[in-house]
Structure 1
Amino acid sequence: MRSLLLVWLGKAIAPLYPLELIVRKKIKKLSNAQFEVFDLSGNLLLQIDGGVWNFQLKRVLRDPAGFPILTMRGKVLTLWHKWKAHAGESTDDSNVLFTVKQSHPLQIKKAINVFLTNSSKKKEPDFHITGAYTSLSFKVYEGRRLIAEVKHSFTLESFCKGKEKYRVKVYPEVDYAFIVALLVILDENDTP
């Protein structure tokens, strides 16, 4: 799989080995949440900021130094939960890296399609995500190949404190920033 964000980071973020990540979500105030992505050694790899519970669904994925890598924007007031991811801080439609769209507005099991570039008019998605609505755990597939697994460590105490945690397993040659972006988008869709 080609790396979507290599150009922006200037370094490889699609390692040749499986990678385990810890993603921590902190709700700072009613309209702001931040995600931080760490490797198992505790090194900060990525950070994501942006508002929650507001009408401007926008998240910015940044490298550890704070430089923007990816901007994710969601469509408001739609049944289809559609998001577009732009390179850097751009919002220009000519700069779309991928589009995330719910496969059907009324579904029992979570099924999300991901289309590279601005090709959501294609019938077959480049990637698809499956999971259950009872938890934020899910799997990401490229065709039939499993490329990542996300497990949500939910407890009522962590939810009440505004701190949630995910364990992410990214398989070899997969861009972990892409997987983290999908996690953030799905978390935003599932936030009440």
Structure 2
Amino acid sequence: MGFLLLVLSGKSYCTPYPLELIVKKKINKLSSSQFEAFDLSGNLLLKVDGGVWNYNLKRVLLDPSGFPILTLRGKALAFRHKWKAHAGESTHDNSNILFSVKQSHPLQIKKQINIYLANKFKKKEPDFLITGAYTSLSFKVYEGRRLIAEVKHSFTLESFCKGKEKYRVKVYPEVDYAFIVALLVILDESDTP
């Protein structure tokens, strides 16, 4: 199918083959962290900048040259985690929303997050679904019943204390890897105390 997320920038972030990524998170200061996504050869594919532990939950997904691809905005202090993705580096304009992310239920044993494409926020069935356990940041992404990506969190106490974390991401063919990295950032931010 290929999720058409980044047609706006004129670039495609889908491949016809499975793609494995290493996503590294580094906390620079108490109010800033950065994600970087690399292929297995070590080539930088995407960067994500933004603050941590602040009221204004905003992240900007950038291509390797620093061009803004999309802006992720979270709703702070919400009972359920809610995020919206806007094209480019946008403000609060609702006309360019690409997708929204919402926790399916505030009290759940197993993590389940719903993703709705633009203009489909009111429908009952999500376009994509994230499932995972609350004991780790590892999760799977589904489009209907079809598995489209898997994320495994490589947690060690030492790396956590140094402010560095790592994820291994497997993206299936014709799936937008920038979309999957954006979801990873949203889940990481939602799970940060």
User: Over residues 41-80 of structure 1, what are the superposed CA-to-partner deviations in whole Å (9 max), with x where a residue is unaligned?
Assistant: 0000000000000101000000000010000000011111
8 Å Cα contact 2:148/2:175 also seen in 1: yes
8 Å Cα contact 1:5/1:69 also seen in 2: no
2:147 alignment partner, SS class: strand
8 Å Cα contact 1:99/1:118 also seen in 2: no
The question of 1:105 aligning with 2:106 is answered yes
8 Å Cα contact 1:4/1:178 also seen in 2: no
Listed as ranges, the gaps of 5+ residues in structure 2 are: none
Residue aligning to 2:127? 126
Normalised by the size of structure 1, how large is the TM-score?
0.98
Residue aligning to 1:57? 57
1:49 alignment partner, SS class: strand
Shift of 1:90: 1.5
Normalised by the size of structure 2, how large is the TM-score?
0.97
What is the one-letter code of the residue matched to 1:20? E
Hey, what's the Cα distance between the residues in 1 that align with 2:107 and 2:179? 26
Residue aligning to 2:44? 44
The question of 1:145 aligning with 2:133 is answered no
Listed as ranges, the gaps of 5+ residues in structure 1 are: none
Shift of 1:118: 3.7
8 Å Cα contact 2:6/2:69 also seen in 1: no
Residue aligning to 1:154? 155
Hey, what's the Cα distance between the residues in 1 that align with 2:25 and 2:8? 24
Pairwise mapping of residues 46-85 of structure 1 onto structure 2 (< 5 A)?
Answer: 46-85=46-85
Shift of 1:7: 1.8
Shift of 1:2: 3.5
Hey, what's the Cα distance between the residues in 1 that align with 2:105 and 2:112? 8
Aligned length: 192
Hey, what's the Cα distance between the residues in 2 that align with 1:106 and 1:122? 21
2:129 alignment partner, SS class: strand
Q: Percent identity?
A: 81
Shift of 1:119: 2.0
The question of 1:169 aligning with 2:170 is answered yes
8 Å Cα contact 1:3/1:13 also seen in 2: no
